[in-house]
Structure 1
């Protein structure tokens, strides 16, 4: 299972691309809104509750974007951070997410990189027995093949 945390409800529109791919790949996930600044106790309780069943976390946050680091400080499991664009076009969130101290790693995606977060999580899960049951290696290969086919179709349409 993947734990998906968002710093606020407004992050849902960005997270939706991730949630859609997790659903498409059949990856169980739980979504929680918890703020590193407004509800730190909820962040701590959520990670503690999810820890026995979750294999990785995907964390969405904008502005100061401390949520991914707060989650990473409470787990040794992979944490994938997705900076959410805001008034500074996501630069503030990107820097806050990517600049983690040694020992508290966060794999940081591009600003609003929700789909890549889901794909990265799927690739991690594909290495586990649960990923084998879900046939994630095959699903990832099929996804990439469809992407390649879409590029070929664009080129085909350019020449007509």
Structure 2
């Protein structure tokens, strides 16, 4: 992995760690180093703001923030930095994550947050989106992204070939 930590992962609670660890795992697939924090927009506001205000000085180029329920963390971070922020809505017991999704995706003009799917898929996609963003600047990451995309294509074609050979009833 690189020396410089290009990505920071934030989450509002340790209950988000199981999902956000998938973001970390996927960043590792692309050899992207990261920092990870549990900092809440509501419970540790000052610490979260201090961390995001100094992120650019640490070489951070993309921020990924997971949050549930009111899900203010991605927006609060985006309001205090010009670094792109990707929001990961957490699945919640109350509304299945729709509350988180709406809180993250409905940002006011001037404070955009790229928003991915709810939960585990979103956590993985946030890392892939970050890798694609960074691949515009870093050839090594671009190579990994292209390899990842080729592998997905190959797997899809393999499944189609099997379906064509076996038919849908025997697949």
TM range (shorter): over 0.9
| Structure 2 match to 1:71 | 77
Cα shift readout 1:93-150 (whole Å, capped 9, x = no counterpart)? 000000001111100111120111111111111112xx22xx1111111101111121
Q: Which has the larger displacement, 89-98 or 117-126?
A: 117-126
User: Given the alignment of the two structures, is residue 94 of structure 1 paired with residue 116 of structure 2, yes or no?
Assistant: no
Counterpart residue number, 2:90: 84
Q: Which residue of 2 aligns with 1:124?
A: 133
Give TM-score, length-normalised by structure 1: 0.93
Which runs of 5 or more residues in structure 2 are unaligned?
Answer: 1-5, 167-171
How many residue pairs end up in the alignment?
Answer: 156
Map 1:1-150; keep pairs closer than 5 Å.
Answer: 1-52=6-57, 53-87=59-93, 88-112=95-119, 113-128=122-137, 131-132=138-139, 135-150=140-155
Shift of residue 48 of structure 1? 2.2
Please tell me whether Structure 1 or Structure 2 has the larger radius of gyration of its CA atoms: 2
Please provide the CA RMSD for this pair.
1.1
Q: TM-score, normalised by structure 2?
A: 0.87
Gaps of 5+ in 1: none
